[in-house]
Amino acid sequence: MVKEGDHVSWKTPQGKTEGEVVEKKTDDFELYGQKRRADEDDPQVIVESDKSGKKAAHKEESVEKA
């Protein structure tokens, strides 16, 4: 399980990327105009890429502590 402030990595089409968890979502939310589903049993995390500074949402299970 990851929490805010954790440094994590995830897979992208370009390879592995790293960044920081800035928020953990357990309710449905919207990011960049896209609706995302989340709940207590299937949370999503908002991560900020070290490389680009952009934020993205990922299922918690798809990121791992770096």
pTM: 0.91
> What pLDDT does residue 47 have?
98
Q: Express each pLDDT in 7-30 by its tens digit.
A: 999 999 989 999 999 999 999 999
Encode 22-64 in three state secondary structure. EEEECCCEEECCEEECCECCECEEEEEECCCCCEEEEEHHHCE
Give the residue extent of every domain in the chain.
7-65
Percentage of residues in the chain with pLDDT exceeding 70? Answer: 100
Grade residue 50 by pLDDT with cuts at 50, 70 and 90: very high
What's the whole-number average pLDDT of the chain?
96
